[in-house]
Amino acid sequence: MATGDTKYGDISPRVGVALDTVALKHAGPVLCVAKFGQQRPIPKNKGQTLKMRRAKPWPLALTPLAEGVKPSPLKLEYEDVNFTLQQFGSYARFTDVVEDTHEDPVLQDLTMLSGEQAAETVEKIVIGAITGGTNVMFANGAIRTAVNTKLTINVQRRCTRALKLAKGKKVTKMLSASVRIGTKPIERSYISFAHTDVEADVRALPNFKTTAEYGTMQTLCDEEIGSCEDVRYILTQNMTAWANAGGAHGGVVMSTGGTLADVYPIVYIADDAFGVTSLKGQEAINMMVLKPGAPRSGDELGQWGSVGWKTWHASGILNNTWLVRAEVGASVL
């Protein structure tokens, strides 16, 4: 990973840091799923393997103590889960004419769009990781190709029952809104991520409470629409469906092809179910800027400039039993 004065291209480190901050501020609101993973900063000079770990729970002490006999001591043990860091990035070009004559703040706008693109890229990768779990509940049937039924309260309860049986703790923290790495406390609950297409079905759950009814309880993010029992629902268009992957739609649930139901994943998580590298803090997003005006190989008249970003990322499931994926249809409205 590039560091130091060369990281920003041909602008000063001070300006580069300011652009990093702009990019991070615009990245934050785009993230909604990634905010709830176990956050890990990107390690420096440690290769491309990222190790995430959790303490292994101790068994219950159910054997009565014998008089004068001390029990065997316990020791702290960790379980390691390794992920491979990968690099992602993109850039845009602009000409010297644009910089000299355009009335809009081109550099600021390109930086803003870069931050949003970086965040949505990471968000989509994280969603791909958490929807690949092996702990699955189907709205009907026992296989994805049979699914043609909407979300019901029984489906939700089957998912939360599985989390509770696995001793999955309710989520109590999330990534803070600051551009720095850090978490903030939240009210205890399980968190669910779903596509916006299932919003009507979520709102139709019995005893569903909208965010407007929360009172003193704060919403987790703009994408949260409310809660049902001990689950809070966050909807994002990035939780895409598997088109035409279910059973006959029967005109009741949505279908891309008109015959088979589209199958939507709804992911329910307990605390520390998955881990991510944080898209915040120093080195989270590297902004690189080349301003037009300086002659370079291939641009001998210095007519072109560019704004680009790079980031290292890794994410994945830490405990499959603390993450349950429901597969459902979405009601036709």
Q: Where residue 51 sits, what CATH number does that domain have? A: 3.30.2400
Q: Are residues 104 and 124 in the same domain?
A: yes
What is the pairing mode between strands 86-95 and 304-313? antiparallel
In tens, the pLDDT along 317-331 reads 988 999 999 999 999
| Lateral strand order in the sheet of 315-317 | 38-40, 274-277, 315-317
Q: Residue 62 falls within a domain, yes or no?
A: no
Residue 295, pLDDT score: 85
Q: Are residues 24 and 8 in the same domain?
A: yes
Q: For residues 149, 154, 160 and 162, what is the CA-based torsion angle, rounded to 10 degrees?
A: -80
Q: Residue 217 falls within a domain, yes or no?
A: yes
Q: Residue 66 falls within a domain, yes or no?
A: no
The better pLDDT of the pair 309, 264 is held by 264
Q: Per-residue confidence at 2, pLDDT binned at 50, 70, 90?
A: very low
Q: Which of 161, 100, 111, 98 is nearest to 135 (CA)?
A: 161
Q: Are residues 188 and 324 in the same domain?
A: yes
Q: Residue 47 falls within a domain, yes or no?
A: yes
Q: How far apart are the first and last CA of the chain?
A: 49
Mean pLDDT across the chain, nearest whole number?
83
Q: Residue 70 falls within a domain, yes or no?
A: no
Q: Are residues 182 and 232 in the same domain?
A: yes
Q: Are residues 28 and 113 in the same domain?
A: yes
Q: Are residues 160 and 268 in the same domain?
A: yes
Q: Are residues 146 and 211 in the same domain?
A: yes
Which two structure tokens, joined as six digits, stand for 79?
């379980």
Q: Residue 252 falls within a domain, yes or no?
A: yes
Contact 247/213 with Cβ under 8 angstroms? no
Q: Are residues 93 and 160 in the same domain?
A: no
Q: Residue 64 falls within a domain, yes or no?
A: no
Contact 74/60 with Cβ under 8 angstroms? no
Residue with tokens 């307990």: 270
Q: Are residues 195 and 90 in the same domain?
A: no
Q: Residue 139 falls within a domain, yes or no?
A: yes
Q: Are residues 266 and 184 in the same domain?
A: yes
Q: Per-residue confidence at 30, pLDDT binned at 50, 70, 90?
A: low
Dist CA 58 CA 65 (whole Å): 17
Residue 5, pLDDT score: 37
Q: Are residues 218 and 169 in the same domain?
A: yes
Q: Per-residue confidence at 71, pLDDT binned at 50, 70, 90?
A: confident
The answer, yes or no, to whether residue 184 has pLDDT greater than 60, is yes
The answer, yes or no, to whether residue 289 has pLDDT greater than 50, is yes
Residue 298, pLDDT score: 86
The answer, yes or no, to whether residue 263 has pLDDT greater than 80, is yes
Total domains, the chain: 2
Residue-range definition of the domain harbouring residue 103: 4-55+81-128+276-317
What letter would DSSP give residue 229? T
Q: Are residues 13 and 118 in the same domain?
A: yes
The answer, yes or no, to whether residue 41 has pLDDT greater than 80, is no
In order of 28, 78, 118, 136, 311, the CA distances from 25 in angstroms are: 6, 35, 12, 35, 15
